[in-house]
Amino acid sequence: MKISARNVLAGKIQSITRGAVNAEVTLILQGGETVTSIITNGSVDSLELKEGQPAYAVIKASEVMIGKGVEGVKLSARNQLAGKVTKLQAGMVSCEVVIELPSGTAVVASITRDGATELGLKDGDMVSAIVKASSVLIGV
């Protein structure tokens, strides 16, 4: 199966914490970074998720926010992945931004052109890819 989501990040399930309805699933990516997802307990069951199992964090580029100079800032978003801008492709309305994490893993964000301009984004900038846990899908 092929999907349109630009970010399909390979890793292993580090932990699964169940609540009454939802579960928090944390993956360790191949480069050592962690990504947390909130999915339903039903999804955990139907996917037969187990700790240590290979899995993918699937994130649409439009769900990735970019922060500049936000290292150490407290945010409610569970996923804050610091890296370097390696590609910036500006369109009339939107910009595609590729962020390379220290491990070499790439995260793609699609943000408004105005947002990229306000941040003063350019190749080589250190930024953080910020994603709410509820915007991360889990695939196996």
- Strand ranges, E, within the chain: 7-18, 22-29, 34-40, 54-59, 65-67, 79-90, 94-100, 106-112, 126-131, 137-139
Q: Do domains 7-59+134-139 and 61-132 have the same CATH topology?
A: yes
In 3D space, the residue among 88, 86, 85, 84 whose CA is nearest the CA of residue 102 turns out to be 84
Identity at 66, one-letter amino acid code: I
DSSP 131: E
Question: How many other CB atoms are found less than 10 A from the CB of residue 20?
Answer: 5
pLDDT in tens, 76-126: 999 999 999 999 999 999 999 999 999 999 999 999 999 999 999 999 999
Per-domain residue ranges of the chain: 7-59+134-139, 61-132
pLDDT tens for 28-82 read 999 999 999 999 999 999 999 999 999 999 999 999 999 999 988 999 999 999 9
- At the topology level of CATH, where does 7-59+134-139 sit? OB fold (Dihydrolipoamide Acetyltransferase, E2P) (2.40.50)
How many Å apart are CA 109 and CA 44, to the nearest integer? 27
Residue pair 33/57 in contact (Cβ under 8 Å)? The answer is no
108 token code pair:
């793609």
Query: What class, spelled out in words, does domain 61-132 have in CATH?
Result: mainly beta
